[in-house]
Amino acid sequence: MPDKKQLKIAIVGAGPGGLATWIHFRKLSDVEISIFDGARELREIGAGIGLNENTWRHLQLLGVAEKIDQFTNRGDPTKIDVENRNGVTGKLISRRYQSTDPNIPARSRIERYKLQNALLSAVPREQIRLSKKLVDLKETAAGVTLVFKDETTAGPFDLVIGADGIRSVVRSYAFPEHRLSYTDKVAYRILIPQENVAHIPDIPQGSCFWHTKNTHVYTNPLDNGLFEIATRAPIPDPDGTKVSWGTEVPKEDVVGHYTEYCETIRKILDVPNKWLEFALFGGPRLHSVVHNGRIALIGDASHPLHGAFGAGAAFAFEDAYVLAQAVGEAQQKGTSVASAIQLYDEIRAPHYEALYHVLDDYADIAKEVEAVNHGKDDNEFVESIVQKGLAGNTQWIYKYDVTKVWRERLEEAIKGKNGLDSSIAPVLNAIATAA
Ligand SMILES: Cc1cc2nc3c(=O)[nH]c(=O)nc-3n(C[C@H](O)[C@H](O)[C@H](O)COP(=O)(O)OP(=O)(O)OC[C@H]3O[C@@H](n4cnc5c(N)ncnc54)[C@H](O)[C@@H]3O)c2cc1C
């Protein structure tokens, strides 16, 4: 860090990742942070969002959990938390009741905009520069300059943080060889009043995944009298032109994918007249998400996981936290931004690698069950795949405590591991205590 001069930082994107980055970086001294978003106004499209244990803990760390608390419920052991069912027969495959563990956060699945609003409550609106759609970046010795669609520029910056989501322009600039591809799947999502489905027999009381061989439907009563329906369906795209994100589609486009489902689901899906379609894109894992010592990617920009694990917001928060801690540590030590973002990369890469492994395992399970059940009944296939998938414990994803990971890294450094100079131990100790 050059002589305690103000470090100029640009955040591109004011989604959950960009906003959390702003909140974490704001705690550092000697930084000047600018945040840009291409949208004319910040508004979330979509439906509900699940706040898992790690998401919730992080919202507390960000100081905005109380903004969401009112929409969450304390666990009630008599109430169903989540079920998995065979979508064709309705047969129950697994059921979990709500937890009353005081250490586990309130059960919460809320409308997406409420998460956005909670984060926005901690970021003064005048800080966010809207209608600034990034189209290019330019690097010079002085730093990185952002070029926007309106032909204005900003910069140069010492550090640019790409929080610009799955179609990240920052990623395309830093890693031009990385390509997104359509997964041949779409998600259809909608929120409707609970009263519109209340008459349908066998409506589950908690979250429920209804599975068939090629599709699934998720139903969930939300916090405020709304009912959430989220589905996935395979839609091939031989022309390679499929693009949609929150695009309104008529009922007729949706219901045809789910005719084999049990009556409860067919009746539920018949209620909304319009749906929102999201074509799901993914891309290969980037082994490093930093570029040239002054650009770092976070959240969906870094790892386009297309909603797998239902925890993408938490992953973005965790990225933001580690990046801010690493830059803060570099400021304390008087080392470079480049070393800070390198450290960020080293801490986060193993976590993402483990997540991608889980996805590979799911694919392997599907192949294995397909081999065993070849020619057998589809119902058996579905039930064994769900049971095997549930047997693989993925709770570590939601139990992950990024502050602990960071503290442990500091402790290791203090013990003289990682080849770091032990003379910095007092500084690191101070940071560890603050963290
Ligand atoms: C179907 C589906 C279901 C999901 N369910 C869940 C769930 O239950 N729980 C959960 O935690 N996560 C869920 N996710 C994942 C979650 O939505 C994302 O991981 C999370 O929103 C990522 O946040 P982000 O800030 O990285 O990106 P985004 O939320 O995409 O935000 C990116 C921001 O950058 C801006 N931007 C984009 N391009 C530019 C540009 N060129 N210039 C300037 N600004 C730009 C956008 O306007 C936007 O504000 C789901 C995702 C999908 C697809």
> Greatest CA separation found in the chain?
70
Which of left, alpha, beta for 30 (phi over 0: left; psi -120 to 50: alpha)? left
Q: Report pLDDT for 110.
A: 83
CA of 249 to the centre of ligand 1 (A): 21
Q: Report pLDDT for 8.
A: 97
CA of 355 to the centre of ligand 1 (A): 18
Confidence band, pLDDT 50/70/90 cuts, at residue 419: low
Question: What is the percent of the chain with per-residue pLDDT over 70, rounded to a whole number?
Answer: 87
Q: What is the pLDDT of residues 120-173, one digit of tens each?
A: 999 999 999 999 999 999 999 999 999 999 999 999 999 999 999 999 999 999
Exposure letters 323-360 (e unless 16+ CB within 10 A, then b): bbbbbbbbbbbeeebebbbbbbbebbbebbeebeebee
Question: Which one is predicted more confidently, 359 or 144?
Answer: 144
Distance CA 243, CA 129 (A): 27
Number of C-beta neighbours around residue 241 at 10 A: 7
| Minimum CA distance residue for ligand 1 atom 19 | 312
Over residues 351-370, the mean pLDDT reads: 75
Question: Atom of ligand 1 at shortest distance to CA of 314?
Answer: 11
Over residues 388-411, the mean pLDDT reads: 83
Q: What is the pLDDT of residues 89-126, one digit of tens each?
A: 999 988 888 888 776 766 677 888 889 999 999 999 99
| Minimum CA distance residue for ligand 1 atom 49 | 15
CA of 301 to the centre of ligand 1 (A): 9
CA of 17 to the centre of ligand 1 (A): 8
Confidence band, pLDDT 50/70/90 cuts, at residue 363: low
Q: Report pLDDT for 206.
A: 86
Q: Is the dihedral of CA 96, 98, 100, 106 positive or negative?
A: positive
* Cα 215 → chain centroid: 22
- DSSP reduced 3-state for 327: helix
CA of 300 to the centre of ligand 1 (A): 6
Distance CA 388, CA 407 (A): 35
Q: Cis omega before residue 284 (within 30°)?
A: no
Q: Which residues line ligand 1 (CB under 6 A)?
A: 12-18, 36-39, 49-50, 55, 132-134, 163-166, 169, 187, 278, 299-301, 306-307, 310-314, 316
| Minimum CA distance residue for ligand 1 atom 52 | 307
CA of 220 to the centre of ligand 1 (A): 21
Structural domains of the chain ordered from first start:
7-72+112-179+285-400 (3.50.50.60), 181-282 (3.30.9.30)
Question: Atom of ligand 1 at shortest distance to CA of 278?
Answer: 1
Pocket test for ligand 1, best of 133, 280, 300 (most atoms within 8 A of CB): 300
- Does 435 score more than 50 pLDDT? no
| Minimum CA distance residue for ligand 1 atom 27 | 165
| Minimum CA distance residue for ligand 1 atom 7 | 310
CA of 393 to the centre of ligand 1 (A): 26
Question: Atom of ligand 1 at shortest distance to CA of 20?
Answer: 25
Q: Report pLDDT for 428.
A: 47
Report the candidate in 346, 339, 336, 345 with the shortest Cα–Cα distance to residue 296.
Answer: 345
- Does 304 score more than 90 pLDDT? no
Report the candidate in 133, 161, 136 with the shortest Cα–Cα distance to residue 146.
Answer: 136
CA of 109 to the centre of ligand 1 (A): 16
